Amino acid sequence: MAEFDTIRATATAGTRTAQIDEGLRAHMNKVYGTMSVGMLITFAAAWAISGLAVTSDPSAAVAQIGVDKYLTSLGAAIYTSPLKWVIMFAPLAFVFGMGAAINKLSASAAQLVFYLFAAVMGLSISSIFLVFTGESIVQVFLITAIAFAGLSLVGYTTKKDLSAMGTFLIMGLIGLIVASIVNIFLASSAMAFAISAIGVLIFAGLTAYDTQNIKNTYLQHAHSGDSEWLGKAAIMGALSLYLDFINMFMMLLSLFGNRE
């Protein structure tokens, strides 16, 4: 009888483990899927807005920015008026707002807010299509995608606890944000280069850390069976990895992109 109970308990534990593993795969697929849709929205919005901001017709131009390139009135409003500061800091406000309101939102509402944030981010980074060549944008994007995939895989598979590294990286990120704000007014090219180089390392580390954190969060709460909470956790995980990817891409583009 005791042997039968042991066998039954072992079988039950094995079934439960298999269910958790299957649930984890589904959870991570949702995280990466949501992040990927957000990326598509961001780059589609950036490309569309940059197209509306520039014209080759001098008669419809507000300012010339290159050979046969002129800003439209929309482009001037976005890139040369005080509105640019609102656009620049709008994504940061979205992140803080979403983090504060996540407990009050349903999973579907949180997903909608995330996609809206991705569109706002597209508006914020749309100038890359005016500053850098299309070829270099594609090249740096592919490099970022390969690096991101490798780093995320490391975070998912490593047995090492990355929480200590995460604390250090978050402190570095705060310093990076402060330095970036200061350099808006200093406009130092040397400081901009240093910020980009250090930023690549910080967001590379955060990619591995955030992936492990998303995995561990699921494993800690898988037994609760709260699908609504896990759905919102997947959205917040997608947001974390999305920010890691976008920021790493922007830093690498600043370092290696070919300018128009």
Give the model confidence (pLDDT) of 178-195 as tens digits.
Answer: 999 899 888 888 999 999
212, pLDDT greater than 90: yes
**What CA dihedral angle connects 73, 130, 98 and 209, to 10 degrees?**
-170
Distances from the Cα of 146 to the Cαs of 150, 151, 248, in angstroms? 6, 9, 12
Long-range pairs for 147-151: beta carbons < 8 A, 24 or more residues apart: 147/204, 147/248, 148/207, 148/241, 148/244, 148/245, 148/248, 151/204, 151/207, 151/208, 151/211
Torsion 165-167-168-174 (CA) sign:
positive
Could you read off the pLDDT of 50-69 as tens digits, one per residue? 988 888 777 666 777 777 77
Query: Which pLDDT belongs to residue 184?
Result: 85
Which residue in the block uniquely carries the two structure tokens 């079988």?
Answer: 11
> What gap in Å lies between CA 210 and CA 205, rounded to an integer?
9
Q: For residue 254, give the nearest of 150, 125, 152 by alpha carbon.
A: 125
The token pair that represents 186 in the structure block: 């200093």
Query: Which pLDDT belongs to residue 9?
Result: 47
DSSP 62: S
Which residues does 51 contact at the CB level (< 8 Å), separation at least 6? 129
Task: Report helix, strand or coil for 9.
Answer: helix
60, 69 contact by CB (below 8 A):
no
Query: Which pLDDT belongs to residue 19?
Result: 63
Name the least confident of 14-18, 175-179, 224-228. 14-18
5, pLDDT greater than 60: no
> What gap in Å lies between CA 102 and CA 125, rounded to an integer?
25
Q: Kindly report the CA angle at 115 between 249 and 42, in degrees rounded to 5?
A: 35
The confidence band for 250, taking pLDDT boundaries of 50, 70 and 90, is: very high
Could you read off the pLDDT of 25-52 as tens digits, one per residue? 999 999 999 999 999 999 999 999 998 8
> What gap in Å lies between CA 80 and CA 182, rounded to an integer?
19
Task: Report helix, strand or coil for 65.
Answer: strand
Which residue in the block uniquely carries the two structure tokens 């649930």?
Answer: 23
> What gap in Å lies between CA 242 and CA 119, rounded to an integer?
13
